[in-house]
Amino acid sequence: MARRKARRRFSLEFKREAVKLFRDSDKGISKVARELGITPVMLRTWVDLVEAEEKTGLSTEDLDELKRLRKENARLKEENEILERATAFFAARKL
- Check if the beta carbon of residue 66 is closer than 8 Å to that of residue 60: no
Helix runs in 1-95, H state only: 12-24, 29-36, 40-56, 60-94
Does residue 1 sit within a domain?
no
Predicted confidence at residue 63, as pLDDT, reads 83
- Check if the beta carbon of residue 3 is closer than 8 Å to that of residue 13: no
Q: Are residues 21 and 38 in the same domain?
A: yes
Q: Are residues 81 and 46 in the same domain?
A: no
Q: How many structural domains is the chain composed of? A: 2
Predicted confidence at residue 7, as pLDDT, reads 82
Range of the domain at 46: 9-57
Q: Are residues 81 and 92 in the same domain?
A: yes
Predicted confidence at residue 93, as pLDDT, reads 85
Q: What is the pTM assigned to this prediction? A: 0.61
pLDDT tens sequence across 15-54: 999 999 999 999 999 999 999 999 999 999 999 989 988 8
Q: Are residues 52 and 65 in the same domain?
A: no
Q: Chain-wide mean pLDDT for the chain?
A: 91
Q: Are residues 14 and 44 in the same domain?
A: yes
Predicted confidence at residue 1, as pLDDT, reads 60
- Check if the beta carbon of residue 43 is closer than 8 Å to that of residue 22: yes
